[in-house]
Amino acid sequence: MLIIPAIDLYNGKVVRLYQGKKESCIVYSDDPLGMAEKLRDEGASLIHIVDLNASFGDGENEKVIHTIANAGIPLETGGGIRTFEKAERLIDLGVKRVIIGTQATDEAFLDSLLAGFKEKVAVSVDVLDGIFRTKGWQEASTVSFLEFVRYLAGKGVNTVIYTDIAKDGTLAGPSIEEVKKLKTITGPEYILSGGIGSMEDLALVRKEAPFVYGVIIGKAFYEGKINIKKALFTYQNP
């Protein structure tokens, strides 16, 4: 099970939000490169970066992402990737995988991205009350998350990131029964995000949802609830 520490960027700083709400922003560092280097040195083989400014439509942190990627740190990154050109630019900067959310509902865009960068594309399926959300989690779609994941699998999407919005930033543990439903849809590799708050939560995921490929850890690391090095040793390299 891949352990993926997260760096959320807002105005060039490392932050965390509560349930995706901008007003809940807590700054943990003003040195994103230093944080990424620390996580790499702890043994992380992939870092999950979200450009919150780009997601909210009030700026971007592309230069910061470029600096981190240029330091040779493997990244997957999302937030406001709404054009083929931006996805291509990030990949050219050295990003291992780009993550799209809302734009995955645009079939022509999804098809073009998969045609151009098949294995370098992940789709974030952001879920609240069983419904796929769009526009930076602000709007509900008309489809269940399982229906949307089934559609993505049919399109040949290799990686799906399941994010439980209600659990994001809460440290309250994952909604494991909802996560287990993903097993019914084969094809994509699944990465779980939202609610991971302890080593016990990681143990629960590995026991109850062993098909999960990776788990994203954010606030639990920044609040000292999970030691990344210990998590990597215990769950990524058992």
Instruction: Respond yes or no: is residue 92 known to be catalytic.
Output: no
> 230 pLDDT exceeds 90?
yes
Residue 186 in this model has a pLDDT that exceeds 90: yes
Q: Which long-range contacts (CB under 8 A, 24 or more apart) does 223-226 make?
A: 223/171, 225/171, 225/197, 225/198, 226/196, 226/197, 226/198, 226/199, 226/202
The one-letter code for the residue type at 207 is K
Q: Please answer whether residues 149 and 125 qualify as being in contact, where contact means their C-beta atoms are separated by less than 8 angstroms.
A: yes
For 152-169, how does the pLDDT look when each residue is reduced to its tens digit (9 = 90+)? 999 999 999 999 888 877
pLDDT higher than threshold 70 for residue 136: no
Domain annotation for the chain: domains and CATH numbers: 2-236 (3.20.20.70)
Residue 26 pairs with which residues in a beta bridge?
16
Q: How far is CA 1 from CA 118, 130, 135, 189, in A?
A: 22, 24, 29, 11
Catalytic residue among 51, 126, 164, 201: 126
126 is catalytic: yes
Question: What is the residue-averaged pLDDT of the chain?
Answer: 91
* Angle at which helices 107-117 and 145-155 cross, to 10°: 50
pLDDT tens digits along 39-75: 999 999 999 999 999 988 899 999 999 999 998 899 9
Task: Provide the angle, in degrees to the nearest 10, between the axes of the packed helices 62-70 and 84-92.
Answer: 30
Partner residues linked to 29 by β-bridges: 14
For residue 216, the tally of other CB atoms under 10 A from its CB is 23
Across the range 82-87, mean pLDDT stands at 96
35-44, 90-99, 167-176, 177-186 — which is least confidently predicted?
A: 167-176
Residue corresponding to tokens 């974030």: 124
The residue with tokens 């992939």 is 46
By C-alpha distance, which of 230, 41, 62 is closest to 217? 230
